[in-house]
Amino acid sequence: MRILIADDSLIMRQLLRRCLEKWRYEVVAAEDGAQAWELFRHGDFPLVLTDWLMPGMDGLELIRRIRSRDVPGYVYIILLTAKSEKEDLVVAMDAGADDFLAKPFDQDELRVRIREGERIIHLERTLAGQNRQLRETQAALVQSEKLAGIGQLAAGMAHEINNPLAYVANNLAVLKQAVRSALDVLEVYRRARESLVRSEPELAALAARLEEECDLPWIRENLPRLFQSSQEGLARMRDIVNNLRQFARLDEAELDDVDLNAALRSTVEVLRRELDEKQIALETSFGEIARVACHSAKINQVMHHLLLNAIQASRTGGTIELRTAGGGGQAVVEVEDHGCGIDPAHLPRIFEPFFTTRPVGVGKGLGLAVSYGIVRDHGGAIEVESRPGQGSTFRVRLPFRPPSAQDTQR
């Protein structure tokens, strides 16, 4: 542990340093409050030992400045003083001192008070760690329950949308074929226009007027494109429904023993065109890992989405790193890009369905939500680390045997 000493007496600083270094503490000494404050601002000192009366900035002012500074952990402060009046001690405690040591100090007393400060610091760090873990657990629970509720909604939406969507798609295919045949018939009639003019001039004039009013040439030219765009829109809707079904876990399959490294190589080849278009260098580091019992199609979907996300986030000519490792009963897959990164304000929401930062129509906002649900259903977890402007790392942890598979084997 590092201890900062502030005392204007050279002899006192030397005595304190000798004792503390003998007890294996790392010591940094300052000859007044101003120097101690500069050292504290640029260093990490969980424990400070300061004299009260010093020229310039005294010990109380040093304590107040330390207490006003936002530091990661608690700083335990012991005040060295010859003062013993109750009023003085109250003033010092009010300034933020934790303990006192009378001057001249006794070595045994110094050691006891330092150990007490060390114990308080350790307890504070333990409590802070437990609080952080509790907040993370609470956030994960809220996220899990939120996604479970949305999953039920997604299941209903997928069912309600899928049936009419199938009707529209089938009817559009029939209509496309029928219109094409009708246009072919119409073209035959148009070839007989001159005969119609000679035999039925009034009927020919009516047909010409109607053709002009409906702009038949425009219809013949643009109708195929209109049907094509309509079918593409339906295909996009089908994709959304399928993603909703995945998110709601409507299509369960048997577990397979999957070689994740081989699955990732296949995913890379599927996305080879996207990688080449942006001239992205892919660096792989595949460890030796056991096969993972999982729904292979769903896990492939997760890997495909994470790698595609990394490609889309990367700059042209950038680099993506793909790593695997195994240990502790689980496989770990990491996808790291060096692209734009994720805004910290968006991180808590990136696994929410339909949340996307891309322009309207570019992204559906379901990829990460679906991936989160798939990995969760396998007893695993997805973690993300990101810094704006520097890139993101998505980490997938999958147990070699999901809980359900282990229960079945028992």
How many of the other CB atoms lie within 10 Å of CB of 325?
Answer: 15
Q: Is the peptide bond before 224 cis (omega within 30 degrees of 0)?
A: no
What is the C-alpha separation between 350 and 356, in angstroms, rounded? 7
Tell me the average pLDDT across 286-312.
88
What rounded mean pLDDT belongs to the chain? 84
Tell me the two tokens of residue 95: 């300034």
Per-residue burial over 82-92, b if 16 or more Cβ lie within 10 Å, else e, is: eeeeeeeeeeb
Tell me the two tokens of residue 405: 């598979």
Q: Is the peptide bond before 104 cis (omega within 30 degrees of 0)?
A: yes
Collect all residues with Cβ–Cβ distance below 8 Å to 249 and sequence separation of at least 6. 151, 373, 377
**Bigger pLDDT: 141 or 187?**
187
Tell me the average pLDDT across 269-279.
89
All structural domains of the chain with their residue ranges: 2-105, 145-249, 256-399
What is the C-alpha separation between 256 and 37, in angstroms, rounded? 62
The separation between CA 7 and the C-alpha centre of its own chain, rounded to angstroms, equals 48
Q: What is residue 37's DSSP assignment?
A: H
**pLDDT score of 283:** 94
* pTM for this predicted structure: 0.45
Q: Give me the CATH code for the 256-399 domain, please.
A: 3.30.565.10
Collect all residues with Cβ–Cβ distance below 8 Å to 93 and sequence separation of at least 6. none
Tell me the two tokens of residue 248: 């709601």
| Model confidence band, residue 404 (pLDDT cutoffs 50, 70, 90) | low
What is the C-alpha separation between 325 and 212, in angstroms, rounded? 69
Same fold, 2-105 and 256-399: no
CATH architecture of structural domain 2-105 = 3-Layer(aba) Sandwich (3.40)
Q: What is the pLDDT of residues 223-265, one digit of tens each?
A: 888 888 888 888 878 776 765 565 454 445 567 888 999 888 8
**pLDDT score of 300:** 81
Give me the residues paired with residue 99 across strands: 78
Does the pLDDT value for residue 297 go beyond 90?
A: no
Tell me the average pLDDT across 20-31.
94
